[in-house]
Structure 1
Amino acid sequence: MRRLHLHHGLAARDLSTKSIRSARPCRRCFSRSRTDHDLTPFTRRIFKLPSAPSPPSQQHDDLTSFLSYAERISLPQTSTVYVGTHYEYTVLQSLRHYALALHRIGGRDDAGIDLVGTWHLPERERERALRVLVQCKALKTKLGPNLVRELEGAIRQAPVGWRTGQTAGVLVSPREATKGVRDALARSSYPLFWMMVELDGTLKQALWNARAEELGLGPLGVETRYGAGAVDAESGSVRKEVALTWDGGDIPDMDLVEQSLLRHEDQWVKSWGVDWSKVDKEALLDVVERIFPDGQPEPQPDGSLSAVDQSKVLAALREK
Structure 2
Amino acid sequence: PLTRRLFKLPSLPPTPSQNHHDLPSFLAYADRIALPESSTTYVGTHYEYTVQQVLRRFAFSLRRVGGRDDLGVDLVGTWHLPKHEHPLRVFVQCKALKTKLGPNLVRELEGSFNLRSSPVDSGGGGGGKLGVLVGTREATKGVRDAMARSSYPVMWMMVEKERGTLLQALWNAKGEEMGLGGLGVEVQFSSEPSSITKNIALTWDGEEIPGMDEVERDMARLEDRWMALWEKDGPMPESRKWALLDIVEKLYPGEKPLVGTMGFTGTCSILSDEDRKKVLQLL
- Give the TM-score, by structure 2 length: 0.89
- Unmatched runs of 5 consecutive residues or more in structure 1: 1-40
Give 1:222's match in structure 2, choosing from 179, 185, 203: 185
Corresponding residue for 2:122? 160
- Give the TM-score, by structure 1 length: 0.79
SS of the residue 2:113 aligns to: helix
Q: Which runs of 4+ in 1 moved over 4 A?
A: 297-300
- Larger RCO (CA under 8 A, 6+ residues apart): 1
Q: CA deviation at 1:152?
A: 1.0
Contact 2:12 2:123 in 1 (8 A): no
Query: In structure 1, how many angstroms separate the alpha carbons of the residues matched to 2:11 and 2:257?
Result: 22
* Letter paired with 1:176: E
Query: In structure 2, how many angstroms separate the alpha carbons of the residues matched to 1:111 and 1:166?
Result: 19
SS of the residue 1:313 aligns to: helix
Contact 1:271 1:303 in 2 (8 A): no
Residues 1:92 and 2:49 are matched in the alignment: no
Q: CA deviation at 1:55?
A: 1.1
Per the alignment, do residues 268 and 214 of structure 1 end up closer, same or farther by CA in structure 2, a change over 3 Å counting? same
Query: In structure 1, how many angstroms separate the alpha carbons of the residues matched to 2:131 and 2:80?
Result: 15
Q: CA deviation at 1:172?
A: 0.3
Residues 243-280 of structure 1: per-residue CA shift (max 9 Å, x gap): 11111111111100000000011111111124414971
Corresponding residue for 1:202? 165
Query: In structure 2, how many angstroms separate the alpha carbons of the residues matched to 1:219 and 1:282?
Result: 36
Give 1:137's match in structure 2, choosing from 95, 118, 122: 95
Query: In structure 2, how many angstroms separate the alpha carbons of the residues matched to 1:249 and 1:209?
Result: 21
Residues 24-63 of structure 1: per-residue CA shift (max 9 Å, x gap): xxxxxxxxxxxxxxxxx10001111112221111111111
Q: CA deviation at 1:73?
A: 1.2
Per the alignment, do residues 89 and 159 of structure 1 end up closer, same or farther by CA in structure 2, a change over 3 Å counting? same
Per the alignment, do residues 72 and 270 of structure 1 end up closer, same or farther by CA in structure 2, a change over 3 Å counting? same
Corresponding residue for 1:253? 211
Per the alignment, do residues 143 and 302 of structure 1 end up closer, same or farther by CA in structure 2, a change over 3 Å counting? closer
Contact 1:288 1:296 in 2 (8 A): no
Q: CA deviation at 1:93?
A: 0.6
Corresponding residue for 2:250? 290
* Letter paired with 1:263: R
Query: In structure 1, how many angstroms separate the alpha carbons of the residues matched to 2:48 and 2:113?
Result: 18
Query: In structure 2, how many angstroms separate the alpha carbons of the residues matched to 1:289 and 1:83?
Result: 44
SS of the residue 1:216 aligns to: helix
Per the alignment, do residues 315 and 85 of structure 1 end up closer, same or farther by CA in structure 2, a change over 3 Å counting? same
Corresponding residue for 1:268? 226
Residues 1:185 and 2:147 are matched in the alignment: yes
SS of the residue 1:206 aligns to: strand
SS of the residue 1:242 aligns to: strand
Corresponding residue for 2:61? 101
Residues 1:308 and 2:274 are matched in the alignment: yes
* Letter paired with 1:210: A
Query: In structure 2, how many angstroms separate the alpha carbons of the residues matched to 1:274 and 1:230?
Result: 56
Query: In structure 1, how many angstroms separate the alpha carbons of the residues matched to 2:72 and 2:185?
Result: 28
* Letter paired with 1:159: D
Corresponding residue for 2:137? 175
Query: In structure 1, how many angstroms separate the alpha carbons of the residues matched to 2:186 and 2:152?
Result: 25
Query: In structure 1, how many angstroms separate the alpha carbons of the residues matched to 2:148 and 2:21?
Result: 34
* Letter paired with 1:307: D
Residues 127-148 of structure 1: per-residue CA shift (max 9 Å, x gap): 5101110000000011111111
- Unmatched runs of 5 consecutive residues or more in structure 2: none
Residues 1:238 and 2:196 are matched in the alignment: yes
Contact 2:78 2:124 in 1 (8 A): no
Query: In structure 2, how many angstroms separate the alpha carbons of the residues matched to 1:154 and 1:103?
Result: 16
